[in-house]
Structure 1
Amino acid sequence: MSQLFWNVLLVAAATLPGVATAGGPSTCQVIAAQMPDRVIFPSDSAYNVAQSSYYAGQARDMQPGCIFMPRTTDEVSRFIKTAGPRNGPDAKFAVRGGGHTLWKGAANIDGGITVDMRLINGTVLNADRSIASLGAGGRFGDVYHSLKPLNLTVLGGRVPSIGVGGFLTSGGMTFLSRRYGFACDSVKGYEVVLASGKVITVTQASYPDLWLALKGGTNNFGIVTRFDVKTYASDGMWYDLVQYNYTESVLQAQATELSRFMKPGAGFDPDAMMGFFFDYAGGQFFLRNALWHTGGVRNPPVYKPFTEIPNFGSSGQLLPVADVVDTFGANIPPSTPRAYQLDWSFINPPAKVYMDLFKIHQDGIKALAAKNIDGIFVEFLTQPQAVIPRGTPSLFGLQTGRTDYVMMLMTAAYANAADDAVVIEGINAIVQAQKKLLRNKGYLIDFVYANYADKSQGVYQSWGFENVAKLRAASRKYDPLGVFQKKVTGGLKVFF
Structure 2
Amino acid sequence: MTRFHMDLFRLVALLYIVAIAAGQQNTSDICLQAASRLPGRISYPTDSVYISSRQSYYSGFERALAPGCIFRPINTAEVSRFIKLVTAGGQYGNTSQAPKFAVRGGGHTLFSGAANIDEGVTIDLREIKSVVLSKDRKMAAVGGGAVWSDIYPQMVPYNLTVMGGRVPGVGVGGFVTGGGVNFLNQRYGWSCDNIYGYEVVLASGEVVYATANSYKDLWLALKGGSNNFGIVTRFDVATFPQGLMWGGVISFNYTKSVLEAQAKAFRDYMDPKNFDSAADMGIILNYANKTFSLSNSLFYIDPVPYPKTYKAFTSIPSLSPNTLTLTNVSNMVVQFGKNLPSKVPRSIQLVYSFKNTDVPTYTKLIQQWETDIKTLETVPGGLSQFLIQPQPVTNGTNSMGLEANQHDIVMCIVTAAWTNPADDARVQQLVTSIVDKHERVVRRQRLYIPFKYLNYADISQDVIGSYGTNNKRRLRAVSRKYDPKALFQTSVPGGFKVSK
Q: What is the TM-score when the length of structure 2 is the normalising length?
A: 0.94
User: 1:237-272 CA deviation, whole Å, 9 max, x = no partner?
Assistant: 10131100010000000000000000112x210010
Query: Cα offset for 1:151?
Result: 0.9
**Which residue number in structure 1 is paired with residue 85 of structure 2?**
82
Contact 2:244–2:328, Cα closer than 8 Å, also in 1: yes
- 1:137 aligns to 2:141 (yes or no): no
Tell me the distance in 1 between the aligned counterparts of 2:385 and 2:155: 31
- 1:259 aligns to 2:257 (yes or no): no
**Which residue number in structure 2 is paired with residue 483 of structure 1?**
487
Structure 1 unaligned runs (5+)? 1-6
Which secondary structure state, in structure 1, belongs to the residue aligned with residue 454 of structure 2? coil
- 1:35 aligns to 2:38 (yes or no): yes
Q: How does 1:204-215 map to 2 (within 5 A)?
A: 204-215=212-223
Which secondary structure state, in structure 2, belongs to the residue aligned with residue 235 of structure 1? coil
Q: How does 1:221-260 map to 2 (within 5 A)?
A: 221-260=229-268
User: 1:443-474 CA deviation, whole Å, 9 max, x = no partner?
Assistant: 11100000010011100111100000110010
**Which residue number in structure 1 is paired with residue 416 of structure 2?**
412
Which secondary structure state, in structure 1, belongs to the residue aligned with residue 186 of structure 2? helix
Q: Which moved more, 1:21-30 or 1:347-356?
A: 21-30
Tell me the distance in 2 between the aligned counterparts of 1:279 and 1:105: 27
**Which residue number in structure 1 is paired with residue 292 of structure 2?**
285
Q: Which moved more, 1:200-209 or 1:78-87?
A: 78-87
When residues 184 and 472 of structure 1 are mapped into structure 2, their CA distance, relative to the original with a 3 A threshold, is same
- Counterpart residue type for residue 418 of structure 2: Y
When residues 324 and 262 of structure 1 are mapped into structure 2, their CA distance, relative to the original with a 3 A threshold, is same
**Which residue number in structure 2 is paired with residue 185 of structure 1?**
193
Contact 1:27–1:90, Cα closer than 8 Å, also in 2: no
Query: Cα offset for 1:45?
Result: 2.3
Contact 1:16–1:29, Cα closer than 8 Å, also in 2: no
Query: Cα offset for 1:439?
Result: 0.4
Contact 1:378–1:413, Cα closer than 8 Å, also in 2: yes
Tell me the distance in 2 between the aligned counterparts of 1:428 and 1:445: 17
Q: Among residues 451, 471, 475, which one is paired with 1:471 in the alignment?
A: 475
- 1:166 aligns to 2:174 (yes or no): yes
Q: Among residues 75, 88, 92, which one is paired with 2:100 in the alignment?
A: 92
Tell me the distance in 1 between the aligned counterparts of 2:60 and 2:323: 34
**Which residue number in structure 2 is paired with residue 304 of structure 1?**
311
Query: Cα offset for 1:476?
Result: 0.6
Tell me the distance in 2 between the aligned counterparts of 1:484 and 1:308: 51
Query: Cα offset for 1:396?
Result: 1.6
**Which residue number in structure 2 is paired with residue 4 of structure 1?**
none
Query: Cα offset for 1:90?
Result: 7.2
**Which residue number in structure 2 is paired with residue 117 of structure 1?**
125
User: 1:200-221 CA deviation, whole Å, 9 max, x = no partner?
Assistant: 1110100111111000111100
Tell me the distance in 1 between the aligned counterparts of 2:9 and 2:245: 58
Query: Cα offset for 1:163?
Result: 0.4
Aligned positions, number:
484
Query: Cα offset for 1:11?
Result: 5.0
Contact 2:86–2:98, Cα closer than 8 Å, also in 1: no
Contact 2:387–2:414, Cα closer than 8 Å, also in 1: yes
Query: Cα offset for 1:92?
Result: 1.1
Which secondary structure state, in structure 2, belongs to the residue aligned with residue 84 of structure 1? helix
When residues 361 and 254 of structure 1 are mapped into structure 2, their CA distance, relative to the original with a 3 A threshold, is same
Structure 2 unaligned runs (5+)? none
- Counterpart residue type for residue 130 of structure 1: K
Tell me the distance in 1 between the aligned counterparts of 2:210 and 2:451: 26
- Counterpart residue type for residue 35 of structure 1: L
**Which residue number in structure 1 is paired with residue 159 of structure 2?**
151
**Which residue number in structure 2 is paired with residue 383 of structure 1?**
389
Tell me the distance in 2 between the aligned counterparts of 1:180 and 1:219: 24
User: 1:5-38 CA deviation, whole Å, 9 max, x = no partner?
Assistant: xx99x95993999965479861111111111100
**Which residue number in structure 1 is paired with residue 111 of structure 2?**
103
Contact 2:98–2:491, Cα closer than 8 Å, also in 1: no
**Which residue number in structure 2 is paired with residue 442 of structure 1?**
446
User: 1:101-152 CA deviation, whole Å, 9 max, x = no partner?
Assistant: 0111101111110000000011110111100011010111001011111111
- 1:54 aligns to 2:57 (yes or no): yes
User: 1:35-54 CA deviation, whole Å, 9 max, x = no partner?
Assistant: 11000111212221111011
- Counterpart residue type for residue 281 of structure 1: A
Tell me the distance in 1 between the aligned counterparts of 2:351 and 2:433: 13
**Which residue number in structure 2 is paired with residue 71 of structure 1?**
74
Contact 1:13–1:29, Cα closer than 8 Å, also in 2: no
Query: Cα offset for 1:310?
Result: 1.1
- Counterpart residue type for residue 263 of structure 1: D
Which secondary structure state, in structure 2, belongs to the residue aligned with residue 179 of structure 1? coil
Query: Cα offset for 1:369?
Result: 2.7
- Counterpart residue type for residue 301 of structure 1: K
Tell me the distance in 2 between the aligned counterparts of 1:31 and 1:437: 53
Q: For the aligned residues, what is the CA RMSD?
A: 1.9
Tell me the distance in 2 between the aligned counterparts of 1:193 and 1:413: 35
User: 1:301-338 CA deviation, whole Å, 9 max, x = no partner?
Assistant: 11111010111134421100000000001111111121
- Counterpart residue type for residue 487 of structure 1: S
Contact 1:90–1:112, Cα closer than 8 Å, also in 2: no
Contact 1:90–1:111, Cα closer than 8 Å, also in 2: no
Q: How does 1:311-330 map to 2 (within 5 A)?
A: 311-313=318-320, 314-330=322-338
Which secondary structure state, in structure 1, belongs to the residue aligned with residue 261 of structure 2? helix
Tell me the distance in 1 between the aligned counterparts of 2:97 and 2:209: 30
